[in-house]
Structure formats: C-alpha cells, structure tokens
A and B are shown apart, each in its own frame.
Chain A
C-alpha cells in the first residue's frame, strides 16, 4: 500500500510541510511583489499601455488554453467571446447606465450561451475542421453585429460613454489603475486554471487532448467535458473582452470579431506553451511587444513588412521551441529552485 498514493496527494503533502522559506512558495510571491512595483518603474504611459495589453492577452491566452491547450480543441473563434463581452458591457452601459463591473457578468453568461450553441455543431468536427468552423462562426458574429445597427451601432462601432473617471464605472484617466485591475484578473485566472488543471475535469481535458478515442473508451463523457471547457473559456474570455472595451473606449465589429483577434489570443498560448498555466503569460510577454515593436519601427517605413517580420519571428520561435517558450523557462526556474533549496539546506 505504501506506494499506492495519488500524485496529487503527494503534492499536497510536500506543500503541507513546506514553509514560506520554501522557494516554491516565496518565488511566486516575490514575482508578484515585483509586478506590483512595475507602474512605479515604468512611468512612460505608452510602455505601461503595452504592458497592460500584455497582461490582458496573457490572461486571455490562459482562458483560451482551457479549451485549446488542455482539451486540444484549437479554436480560432475566440474573438466571438471577447467581442460579446466587450459589446454586452458597453451596450448595457450606454442603454441602461449599468456599471461594467455588473455588465461583464451578463457578457460572460451570454458568451457561455453562445459557446454552448456553437459547441453543439463545432464539436462534431475534429482538428483543422474544428478550427475552420470556429473561424466561420466569428464571421457570422461579425456580420450580425454589422447588420443589426439599431442595437449594435453597426459598422461605425460604439464608444464607451465618458464619465470623468471612477472606480464604480471602471473608468480611469491614468493607465495605472488599469494595470492593477488587469494584474488582479490575471492572478485570479492563473489560480483558477491551476486548480482546474489538477482537478478531475482537468485530467479529462488532458486525456481528450491526448487521445479522444482512448478517453471515450475509459468512459469519459467527452461531449460534456468539451462543452464545459468551452463554457469556462468563453466566460473568462468575455470578462476580459469587457475589460478591453473599458480600456480602449471604442469597439467596432470588424476588429472585435476578426480572425486576427482570435489568432492573437490563440498565438500567445501556442507560442508560450499549449496546456500549461504560465505558458500564455510568457507567450504574451514575447508576442505582444514583438508585434508592437515591428509595427512601430517598420509600420510607416515599409507597411506590411512589419507583419512579415512578426510572422517570421513566430515561425522561428515555433520551430526552435515547439513545445512552447515555457519549456526552457521552466527548466531555468527549476534550476533556480534547486539551487535555493540546496543553499538553504546548508545553512
């Protein structure tokens, strides 16, 4: 019996007898503390704005990873949920003066409903077909939001009503409060997905992602598990979409429901590491600034070359580190932990 212990129990045991002195515990806290200092160091509003987008897309990548990474249902239609979140909160604000803090949950629920409807058809497809169908759905949404002008404002888009800045209405004149709110959302999503990944449903998703037939054969209700993955992912993505709307103040269907938006969300997870918790954060830290810098330096000089260079860098990254940038970073992190543990043992 001595060896018959689940690995999860063992993880709990090692965590249980570890104190704050264990590097596994204090390193993440140290990292968070450093993150809290960022707005004091980065005072340039342009760079802080870029960092805000890194955090937002890192969080969106983690949300995407639930369905795209763990369950390996590679969605290229997540702009649907992002856009629904953005539109729902903005419309509730314009028409009924409902605070985005409340509106975002309506957006989340609405996204889940759309996700379930979508799932009923797209989950009949596998692999590339699945991806193509999710793209098709995002175009349908884009057209719907362009056509129903009375409700959605049509192709001209919507502006978030300006109200002089207040926490209650999720509106600030400085970028610093956004930074802390986005960071809080990121931390919460990391903690949630970490928990989900180690739960029974997380293992179901991993199993489905690895081998769907084998997962079916051991009795997993795969339709249910996939819908749950898409539902949770859609909810979180919609919340982040409403953050985005509150941050950029202006949304229009063409960019909100574009495949470009979907790809940006998926890409941070793919470059960072599929099915890992921190991968998308690393992915966003790399991908977003590259996109921004290539655009800044080449966008005016040689329009189009920025996208080519951006694409080239991503191709190289994927060829060199196919399992994601998180892999070498994890290795370094592990080394650091080992070294710290050894040095504390000596003392």
Chain B
C-alpha cells in the first residue's frame, strides 16, 4: 500500500535529477505522486484536483526546477499548502456571557457523537465549568443508557427522559433544567442521521431552533472516504454548523476527510478524539493533521505527550546529562520508564517522523513491550558501578548479569552495544547533527531481535 509521500517524491525527483535538468513534465510526474498520495489518504477527489493545481503553481513559482533538492522542495511546498488549507487560526468554542452555553452535536450514525459528547463534557468540566448533557438520541436502542452511563463516568449532569418524547421536546426541557440548575454548559447529543434523510434533518433544525445553540459541532469519523464532503455540505446547509470534531484519530487512517471537510465548508476542526477513554479528546492541530495526511509523523504530539508524562525537572536533568555526555544506564532505565508511561511502544514510535518503514519492521520483528521488560531486567541486574560505566562489563560480569536477569550473554552484550550507539546519537544531537532516526532504529532492531 501507500507509504510516505516524501519518500516517493524524493525517489521520483532524484531519478529525474540524475538525468540532468528537470523539465515541466517531470514536475507533472511529481504532481501525480502527490495526487495519488492524497487520494489514498481519502482527500476528496475534487479537493485533491484543486490542491494539486495550487501546489504546482506555487512550486514553479518558488523555483523548484532550479533548486538543489527539488524533492525536498516540493514536499515543503505541499506541506505549507496543506497546513494553510487545514488551518489558519482555528476558532475556539464560543461561550455565552450568562446562562448555559448550548452545544449541539450532530453527525452520521456511528461517527461517535455520544462518546464525543461525554468526552467534551468531561473536558469542559475539567476547565471548571458546570456541565450537563442532554440525551436526545431516541432512535438507537440504548443510546440514552449509554449517555447516562458515560455522563455518570464523566461526573456531569445527565438530562434524559427515555425515548417516548420527541428529541425536540427533550432538548428544550433539558435546556430549561440546565438554566434552573445554573449550569454553564449544556451539550445536546442527538441521534445519528443520514444527511439525505429530510425528515431527520428537519428534526435537527427544529432542535436548533428551540435550543439556539452557541455552537453546532459536526462529528466526523476520521476514516470517512470520499463521501465526507457530501455529508459536510448537507449538514452545513441544514444546521450551519460551526466546527468539527474528528473522531477515531487513534486509528491509522490518514484522515483526508479532515482536509475535505475543511476545504468545502471552511469550518474549522476544533477537537480530535484519540482513544476510547473519556479523557482522550484533544484540541485539534491543523499543521499536525497536514503531516499525518502526508505520512510525516506527528512529532509535536509526541513531544506534548512526553511533556505531559515527564517530570519537568527530571527531563531537564536528563537533557543536561545527554548534552554533557554523562548519560548512564540508570538514566536509560529512567527514560525507559518514561517512555512506557506514554503508552504502548508501537503508538509512541508511530508518531515519530520517518518511522513508517521502521514500524513495519517492528511489526515483523514483533518487538513489543516485553522487550522493554527484558531491558529493564538486565539493567536492574547490574551493580551501580556497571550502570554508571558499562565499559567495565566483560565476560564474567556479563555472565552474572545474564543469569541474574534470566536472559543470556548475547542479550547483555546487545544492550551495552545499543547503549553505546545511543550515546553516540546523543552526542551527535547535542552537536546539532540529527542522524537519520530510521536507520539508527532499524540497526538496533535487527540486532535487538537475536537472543
């Protein structure tokens, strides 16, 4: 299947370059690659067409033909153009100056409205607001129970009246309740509906009329294909929604739907849902989405995740040690633990740019968190001296460590070797040269597998 646009582009461009000067038809070839990449990422066909035309114009304007590394140059232009299309500065939720702020959730069946409702409720509650949710999905069996339970988990007030009354009436009643209880926010969950279902779309319009929401949010599944634009256009027409919540971004879909929706409606994507747990809702970052669509990894999210999990002073200390080349196996152990706090290894690595191919290797090698268990066991079987200065580890020490950790001599050897490499990498980073992470990782992996 399709992998890294940048890789493919680099490939095409360097092929061409070896033949001498680039021609316009060479640029066309690169544009075809981009077009294919976007289509594979589920960016809408028409949006793709316009986008490629714009990139072509810009690329030629910026002198790609004359530049030293045209492949890199084209990627840069694509990236900029994507980020521009995706974002601009996104709008935040609008809150009422007094009385409850009403947020209306809408979308197709199965896009994740009920879960998104509960997540948003929790997130706003954590910002110190009094939040209520209204269960207006009377269509799907047990949808009301689902919201009651999730709302309970989030610790917000759930307004539900079963499934007998009309959703319009329930929404209005819930708003009255929210007012009476002086809540700050009321989030109205609605039934999933097809954008071509006139009757249900009208019901949504009625709910909107009666509750006068400050924000209408369209919930869109990140895995949606070409149809995303039709859905978005129809919902925009009926409800004039204000923003989008992208769900299931923890999957491996490239999420071209995000770009399509933004391009055809101009509405910003406000939130991204990134997991099944209630606290897994994040503010949306257009630039990162652009990189994801292109398969360029999400290094910023990774940094943020790391920041969230890492003790700041510890991180500073680590950084200082790395820079001064005083990094020991003890520090390595600490780092291992930090990484594991960020989640399963595969998801952490998936966010790193250039790891596309390495991820496949990982899968083949079946490198999982158990490997980390082994590494930890080995380090923990070393003496303090050995951890501070792994160079002293020779034959008999190695045998002792292997026995102590339940591994073998090879495994111990590999670890010290890897650690040595890591130090080299850090030295390089400290001096400002970033080595190719993929090459480094792959080197480690193939070695790391042998027992």
The yes or no verdict on A and B being binding partners is no
